[in-house]
Amino acid sequence: MIAETLDRTSHIHLYHQLKLILRSKVENGEWRPGDQIPTEEELCERYQVSRITVKQAVNGLVADGLLYRQQGRGTFVATPKIEQEPERLTSFSEQMQQRGLRPGGTLLSRQVIPASKKIAEQLNLQLGTPIIQIQRLRLADNEPMGIQTAHIPLSRLPQLLEEELGQYSLYKLFAKYGIHLVSAMERYEAVLTDEDEARLLNVEPRSPAFLVERVTYDETGLPVEFVKSVMRGDRYIVTVALHTDTA
């Protein structure tokens, strides 16, 4: 149980003590996801500390993903992060359903483009090979979670030019047309959102995000899809299982 008062005789900085108090309000459910927390002025008065102390404490919780700011509105309690475990090949839709969330999406663009050098390398194609590029805004319970841009060889699945793509899993469409996905390689990189990404994801520009690149393979070992995703850093945790070498 975290004390509600600050110990001014302690060697622990006041901002860190305040951060622990505010964190406990989130973790014990006193402040629930979506709730607006008291203003900096109110926290200063309540705990008799400077605005700098309050700002440091709140900034720490924003960096930890427990709180988020909306420009001109205030600071709010964040929805718990979604944990991504990259050991099992699943689609975005499956990940959300497993966590009790309703997946959705908005189709941003769909076009046929020539494969760039990077896309050709990832999909083991000749430079300039026709590619279907599909960009979608992915949602969970109608909240933006990420921007996904998929690249699929036109020759593998030309039906994607006609299919409804907004809310549906591409993996189900692959299965519908007899393409069985069995493995993938993913690469994660910490990035900051640009202005366009921030607008689509409903976050501030230069907010933390994950850039995820995935190459997915069929049962013959051929690459079928190369996807670049920008996922909100305040909503995702990536967990990796590590094992000792027992050989």
Q: Give me the CATH number covering residue 68.
A: 1.10.10.10
Distance CA 197, CA 204 (A): 9
Characterize the bridge pairing of strands 82-84 and 103-114: unpaired
Helices H / strands E in the chain, number of each: 7, 10
* Centroid of chain to Cα 121: 26
Q: Are residues 86 and 40 located together in one domain of the fold?
A: no
Q: Are residues 70 and 97 located together in one domain of the fold?
A: no
pLDDT at 147: 94
Q: Is residue 53 part of a domain?
A: yes
- 106, 136 Cβ separation under 8 angstroms: yes
Q: Is residue 210 part of a domain?
A: yes
pLDDT at 170: 87
- Write the DSSP symbol of residue 36: B
Closest alpha carbon to 218 in 124, 92, 94: 124
Q: Is residue 125 part of a domain?
A: yes
User: Which residue type, as a one-letter code, is found at position 145?
Assistant: M
What does the pLDDT average to over 21-28? Answer: 88
- 89, 181 Cβ separation under 8 angstroms: yes
Whole-angstrom distance between the N-terminal and C-terminal Cα of the chain?
A: 45
At which of 77, 98, 121 does a domain end?
Answer: 77
pLDDT of 11 over the 90 cut: no
**How confident is the prediction for the chain on average, in pLDDT?**
85
pTM: 0.64
Q: pLDDT band for position 166 (50/70/90)? A: low
At which of 77, 98, 124 does a domain end?
Answer: 77
pLDDT at 247: 47
pLDDT of 72 over the 70 cut: yes
Long-range contacts of 47-51 (CB under 8 A, 24+ apart): 47/6, 47/18, 47/21, 48/6, 49/6, 49/14, 49/15, 49/18
